[in-house]
Every structure is written in structure tokens, then in C-alpha cells.
């Protein structure tokens, strides 16, 4: 079901300083609009104040910056630029894995999730279950491909450094679906019940952060 890892990626969760969020986001977009060394693409996501999945934690993240790089060293070097001026941040080097592509020309609602693994499993074990059995449960056995337009798994690298343990995420699912299909990810939907049951095998469900975001491309290398 998985297809292939992409180039090195830096995914940074941010808490913007108090004040005018729109103005702050515009300033970040302008600062990153000329790119950073080694970057091929940069996308700025603003988190919308909408509850997507009942029971998810509100971790206070309101901006997410994604960058794709030529090398991991380039991605590591970009951490300060991505997190600059944020009140708090979590910078994560990830392996981005394309799981499903419905080849939809115009994508709908974009959702980014963050989770930490269960204490009794390693990062590698949690990610292996997520990439394997968990995909089977959702996409094959419960036909989530009927409403998912595009689905990536962002696997945080094993040696990613973090300053605070609550920011030590292990995985960040990222998916798009038609806005009219949001009911399919409601807690009482059969596919979500099955997914929640399987999550008990590898992730700490009290750590789940589910965010509906608005995507804003700010840099694309020509």
C-alpha cells in the first residue's frame, strides 16, 4: 500500500505569539518566500479553530510549516528559520511516505495529526505498526480510500532531537478529503471506530492532536 519515501522533510509545529495571527503569518510567509538553503518547497499551514476529532488534545499549535530539502543536513540547518519568533515550537525531521493518492485534481480539506507512541513500544515498532497493520485496517478493510483524496504518513526520524518530551511526536498523518466528507472522520463512523481500536496497539491516544488547516504555498524552487 505504501509507495515511496520522498526527499528529507522538516515539519515544524508553532505557537504564534499573542496578537494578530494573520499579520504574523503574513510576515512568516514573506520571510520564507525566498526560500532557505537547500529547500525545494515550503508550505505554510494555518490551523483552523475547528474540532475535527472528538477527544483530540488542543496543544495550542496554530501554524505548521513544512519544508522539503535536498539533504537532511539542509533540513537540520533550517530549524531556526522555521521556528523563528514563535512562542513555542516542535521541529521534526520526518520521512514522508505516500500511502494513498486518489489523483484528485482539486484537493479539499487538509488535516494534520500528531501523536506519540505508547510507552511500552519503541518508535520503530510504533511506526512499523502504523505503516503496516493500521493502513490495512483503515484503507483496505474499512475502505477509507472511498473518501480520502490524498494520504501521507510523516515518520519522525529515530534520532530527532526535542527540547520538551510532550513535543516528542513519533508520527504525523497528513490527509485531504472533500469538505463534504468530514462526517466520515467523526468518532461514530465505522472506519473511525476501527481505527481508534487499532490505535490502542501502538499510540498514546491522550497525545492525539488533530488539526484542520489551510495550506498556503510560500516557496517553490524553479
Whether the predicted pLDDT of 3 surpasses 80: no
Is 196:187 a contact under the CB 8 Å cutoff? yes
For 9-220, give the CATH class: alpha beta
List the domain boundaries for the chain.
Answer: 9-220
User: Average model confidence (pLDDT) for the chain?
Assistant: 93
The answer to whether the CB of 109 falls within 8 A of the CB of 176 is yes
DSSP-derived 3-state class of residue 166: helix
Range with the poorest average pLDDT among 2-11, 17-26, 192-201: 2-11
Rounded to two decimals, the pTM is 0.94
The three cell numbers of residue 52 are 475535527
Please tell me the total number of residues recorded for the chain in this structure: 222
- Percentages helix, strand, coil for the chain (3-state, rounded to 5) are 30, 35, 35
Q: What is the pLDDT of residue 5?
A: 53
State residue 60's pLDDT score: 94
Q: What is the pLDDT of residue 185?
A: 78
Give the highest mean pLDDT range of 41-50, 157-166, 186-195: 41-50
Amino acid at each position: 500500500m505504501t509507495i515511496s519515501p520522498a526527499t528529507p522533510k522538516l515539519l515544524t509545529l508553532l505557537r504564534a505569539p499573542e496578537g494578530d495571527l494573520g499579520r504574523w503569518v503574513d510576515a512568516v510567509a514573506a520571510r520564507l518566500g525566498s526560500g532557505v538553503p537547500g529547500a525545494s518547497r515550503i508550505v505554510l499551514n494555518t490551523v483552523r479553530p475547528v474540532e475535527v476529532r472528538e477527544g483530540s488534545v488542543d496543544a495550542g499549535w496554530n501554524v505548521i510549516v513544512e519544508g522539503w530539502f535536498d539533504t537532511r543536513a539542509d533540513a537540520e540547518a533550517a530549524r531556526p528559520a522555521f521556528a523563528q519568533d514563535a512562542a513555542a515550537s516542535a521541529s521534526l525531521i520526518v520521512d514522508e511516505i505516500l500511502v494513498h493518492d486518489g489523483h484528485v485534481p482539486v484537493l479539499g480539506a487538509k488535516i494534520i495529526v500528531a501523536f506519540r507512541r505508547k510507552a511500552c513500544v519503541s518508535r520503530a515498532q510504533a511506526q512499523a505498526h502504523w505503516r503496516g497493520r493500521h493502513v490495512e485496517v483503515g484503507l483496505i478493510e474499512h475502505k477509507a480510500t472511498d473518501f480520502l483524496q490524498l494520504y501521507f504518513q510523516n515518520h519522525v526520524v529515530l534520532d530527532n532531537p526535542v527540547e520538551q518530551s510532550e513535543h516528542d511526536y513519533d508520527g504525523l498523518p497528513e490527509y485531504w478529503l472533500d469538505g463534504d466528507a468530514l462526517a466520515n472522520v467523526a468518532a461514530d463512523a465505522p472506519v473511525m471506530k476501527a481505527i481508534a481500536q487499532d490505535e490502542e496497539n501502538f499510540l498514546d491516544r491522550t497525545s492525539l492532536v488533530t488539526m484542520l488547516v489551510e495550506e498556503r504555498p510560500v516557496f517553490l524552487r524553479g
